């Protein structure tokens, strides 16, 4: 289990994490979903003991990461955002190094490295230098290093960024297998679809704070049954706001500028004609219209007032 209570972390003037709390349970995948600079890596670094929190408390199982750093760290496997591998040596040697650093020795170290090479699908390339690996293979090996000592808690910081679709599928399956085996998994990502397909529990984070959290169903229920409609064209935002307010007050404007309008409305299919009619009567020139069903993405927009920045 990981329990984070009111965690703050600032770097000088920059507040990277601004009071977050959550609990990740064994056997489940807890996702931290947020855009660049949201505070995901800072949170992971505080939990893994790389950085000391400015304030707040982090428990790994019963162990406080600040007071019982050594024991708490031994419970955790960390897969960092930046791949941390020795390029000049083989995959197997990298695993031996990381396993050794976590206390594995002798026959156990060797057999575990073999097991992890099988698991990650790298056994055929086990003795090749890592510098000859593709990005996806390095990502899988990076993951393998994190699980060498069979940690009951696994922290994964955007482990699938920049990998090919096949490696991604394999990596996500590996993460699911860890959770099925009872491991507590904390997984950060800025991929909406990944969060939706992988995580049992999710917190949406931006600017160092958690905007919403819960199971996928709980989060979806926050969106309600409203659809999102995105329109592009030429708009006068003040005029749009007045026209919709007067004629269709049930429609909520989420984002509005000269080139695009994003609204939240119930039964978009049935009510779209009325919306387009009001806009056109008020001088809007429309180019494209798209309707999105309620999803995590719509929740994210509702919470932050913007689309997930890449």
Ligand X SMILES: Nc1ncnc2c1ncn2[C@@H]1O[C@H](COP(=O)(O)OP(=O)(O)OP(=O)(O)O)[C@@H](O)[C@H]1O
For the record, the structure tokens of 215 come out as 């199971």
Specify the residue, 68 or 81, whose C-beta has the smaller distance to Mg ion: 81
**φ/ψ of residue 22, rounded to 5:** -165, 165
Confirm if 275 and 251 have CB atoms less than 8 A apart: yes
120 binds, among Mg ion, ligand X, none (CB under 5 to 8 A by kind): none
Specify the residue, 15 or 278, whose C-beta has the smaller distance to ligand X: 15
Task: Supply the angle between the helices 106-119 and 135-147 in degrees, to the nearest 10.
Answer: 140
- The contact mask relative to ligand X for 11-50 (x = CB under 6 A, - = no) is x--x-x-----------------x-xxxxxxx--------
Specify the residue, 112 or 190, whose C-beta has the smaller distance to Mg ion: 190
Specify the residue, 39 or 146, whose C-beta has the smaller distance to ligand X: 39
**HSE toward the beta carbon, residue 291, CA cutoff 13 A:** 14
Question: CA 109, CA 119: separation in Å to the nearest integer?
Answer: 15
249 binds, among Mg ion, ligand X, none (CB under 5 to 8 A by kind): none
Site for ligand X in 180-219 (CB under 6 A): 190
36 binds, among ligand X, Mg ion, none (CB under 5 to 8 A by kind): ligand X
Which residues are CB-contacts of 110 (< 8 A; sequence separation ≥ 6)?
A: 96
Q: Does 302 bind ligand X (CB under 6 A)?
A: no
CB of 205 to ligand X, least distance (A): 7
Tally of CB atoms within 10 A around 59 = 18
Three-state DSSP state, 253: strand
Give the interface with ligand X as residue ranges (CB under 6 A): 11, 14, 16, 34, 36-42, 81, 190
């Amino acid at each position: 289990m990981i329990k984070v209570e009111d965690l703050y972390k600032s770097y000088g003037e920059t507040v990277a994490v601004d009071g977050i709390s959550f609990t990740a349970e064994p056997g489940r995948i807890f996702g931290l979903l947020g855009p660049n600079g949201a505070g995901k890596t800072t949170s992971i670094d505080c939990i893994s003991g790389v950085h000391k929190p400015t304030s707040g408390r982090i428990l790994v199982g019963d162990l406080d990461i600040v007071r019982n750093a050594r024991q708490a760290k031994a419970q955790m496997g960390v897969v960092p955002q930046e791949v941390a591998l020795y390029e000049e040596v083989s995959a197997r040697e990298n695993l031996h190094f990381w396993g050794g650093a976590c206390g594995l020795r002798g026959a156990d170290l060797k057999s575990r490295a073999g097991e992890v090479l099988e698991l990650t699908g790298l056994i055929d390339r086990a003795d090749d230098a890592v510098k000859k690996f593709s990005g996806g293979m390095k990502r899988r090996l990076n993951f393998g290093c994190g699980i060498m000592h069979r940690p009951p808690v696994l922290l994964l910081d955007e482990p699938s960024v920049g990998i090919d679709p096949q490696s991604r599928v394999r990596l996500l399956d590996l993460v699911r297998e860890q959770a099925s085996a009872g491991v507590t998994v904390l997984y950060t990502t800025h991929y909406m679809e990944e969060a939706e397909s992988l995580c049992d529990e999710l917190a949406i984070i931006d600017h160092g704070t958690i905007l919403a959290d819960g199971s996928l169903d709980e989060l979806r229920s926050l969106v309600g049954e409203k659809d999102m409609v995105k329109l592009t064209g030429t708009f006068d935002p003040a005029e749009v706001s007045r026209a919709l307010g007067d004629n269709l007050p049930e429609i909520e404007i989420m984002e509005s500028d000269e080139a695009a309008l994003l609204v939240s409305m119930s039964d978009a299919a049935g009510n779209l004609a009325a919306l387009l009619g009001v806009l056109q009567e008020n001088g809007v020139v429309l180019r494209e219209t798209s309707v999105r069903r309620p999803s995590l993405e719509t929740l994210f927009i509702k919470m932050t007032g913007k689309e997930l920045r890449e």
